[in-house]
Amino acid sequence: MSALTATALAHPNIAFIKYWGNRDQSIHLPQNGSLSMCLDGLYTTTTVRFDPQLTADSLVLDGSPVQGAGLVRVQQFLDHVRRLAEKDIYAQIESSNNFPAGAGIASSASAFAALALASTSALDLQLSEPDLSRLARLGSGSACRSIPGGFVEWQAGETDLDSYAFSLFPPDHWELLDLIVILDRAHKATGSAAGMALAHTSPLQKQRVTEAPMRLDFCRQALLERDFTSFAAVVELDSNWMHAVMQTSAPPLKYLLPATEDILDSVLGWRAEGHSVCATVDAGPNVHILCLPQEEAFLRQELSQLPEVLELITATPGGGARLLSVTA
Ligand code: PMV
């Protein structure tokens, strides 16, 4: 068999209704459905080259070879792909992010979405979008939401077979902006997998999960109607629920910095003054301010005055993962 190479690109995504907690951690079967937007302008590009001459998998990320846990995670993911293709063959992977390494933007979603598409294409596995999304989910839960484009829902599902993401609306459905406020570039002490493994220890998690379908309905409807007021209310409620669960887990987890809290307070104040802005925070201190385009200049003006703000990045609704090339 000749070496097969494919290159794919995928965007990260920001969740409006969050994923936090698994029914089965090993295959990322989530406790609740989630909803997100793909982030245009930010992307991971990954080339996978399978070659019968290779004796092991290797990974180069942003120009540097990766060993240890990072490499093992990718090898385990490729084992799923090899099983699907029924081929015993190793690969060389080269991946790069166009967003600065350590910018505080989670790259595992775009990384595993791009890897799923490139590796299956290189082995000529033609997976449907749901099957590709299920495969990406095995690498990182939120990666399943970076396979379809635009505004995306991950249905929790009952089993591995029906836990995948699909597009609710295309990117041009609504001109929302995500203004990402970078406050810290360091890698977080507790990654999302370890953090969400504690979710069940919080007395608030059960209620958060029980009410998730209601928040999903509400968010879907707000997106459908492009109703910013309703959207803002449910996005902030959902983010606060997740951080409340984190902070009441045993041991407690706190991802927010004082500057994060200050910005969240400012966002509430600006909305009370009539600005179309709201905020959501993932498992880290950086703030994603979601807003309508006319708010960007005002927000940049306000935020650039704060000494804690290291960088501001604007993202618009992006498309799904796409194949850039396949060569034999
Ligand atoms: O898929 P993971 O392990 O990167 O977890 C994502 C967790 C959050 O970003 C905090 C929430 C989400 O739904 O994206």
2 has a pLDDT exceeding 70: no
Q: How confident is the model at residue 188 (pLDDT cuts 50, 70, 90)?
A: confident
pLDDT tens digit sequence for 107-128: 899 999 999 999 999 999 999 9
pLDDT tens digit sequence for 9-66: 999 999 999 999 999 999 999 999 999 999 999 999 999 999 999 999 999 999 999 9
Are the C-beta atoms of 275 and 268 separated by less than 8 Å?
A: no
187 has a pLDDT exceeding 90: no
Q: Residue 297 burial (CB < 10 Å; 0-12/13-18/19+)?
A: exposed
Which atom of ligand 1 is found nearest the CA of 191?
3
Distance 193 CA to ligand 1 centre (A): 8
Tokens of 108: 């595992």
Report d(CA 306, CA 5) in Å as an integer.
46
Residue 174's alpha-carbon distances to 99, 222, 275, 292, in angstroms, are 24, 11, 17, 9
pLDDT tens digit sequence for 211-241: 999 999 999 999 999 999 999 999 999 999 9
* Residue 162 neighbours by CB distance under 10 Å: 12
Which atom of ligand 1 is found nearest the CA of 142?
1
**Domain assignments of the chain as residue spans, ordered by start:** 1-328
Query: Taking the C-alpha atoms of 68, 70, 74 and 76 in order, what is their torsion angle to the nearest 10 degrees?
Result: 60
pLDDT tens digit sequence for 234-255: 999 999 999 999 999 999 999 9
For residue 89, the model assigns a pLDDT of 97
Tokens of 98: 């166009």
1 has a pLDDT exceeding 60: no
For residue 104, the model assigns a pLDDT of 66
Q: What's the distance, CA 178 to chain centroid?
A: 13
Bridging pattern class, strands 91-97 and 58-61: parallel
Distance 51 CA to ligand 1 centre (A): 33
Average pLDDT of the chain to the nearest whole number: 96
Is the beta carbon of 184 within 6 A of some atom in ligand 1? Answer: no
Rg of the chain, C-alpha, whole Å: 19
- pTM of the predicted structure, to 2 decimals: 0.97
Residue 176's region, left for phi above 0, alpha for psi from -120 to 50, else beta, is: beta
DSSP 261: H
Torsion angles phi and psi, residue 56, rounded to 5: -160, 160
Collapse the DSSP code of 109 into the 3-class scheme (helix H, G, I; strand E, B; otherwise coil) and give the result. Answer: helix
Distance 86 CA to ligand 1 centre (A): 30
Question: Probe ligand 1: pick from 20, 137, 198, 239, max atoms within 8 Å of CB?
Answer: 20
DSSP 292-316: -GGGHHHHHHHHTT-TT--EEEEEE
Q: What is the mean pLDDT of residues 136-155?
A: 98
User: Which residue's structure tokens are 């209704």?
Assistant: 17
Which atom of ligand 1 is found nearest the CA of 17?
13
Question: Probe ligand 1: pick from 19, 164, 255, max atoms within 8 Å of CB?
Answer: 19
For residue 189, the model assigns a pLDDT of 79
H helices present in 58-210, as ranges: 68-85, 108-122, 129-139, 192-196, 205-210
Which atom of ligand 1 is found nearest the CA of 19?
13
DSSP 198: T
Q: What is the second-level CATH architecture of the domain 1-328?
A: 2-Layer Sandwich (3.30)
pLDDT tens digit sequence for 254-299: 999 999 999 999 999 999 999 999 999 999 999 999 999 999 999 9
Is the beta carbon of 12 within 6 A of some atom in ligand 1? Answer: no
Is the beta carbon of 164 within 6 A of some atom in ligand 1? Answer: no
Torsion angles phi and psi, residue 44, rounded to 5: -110, 135
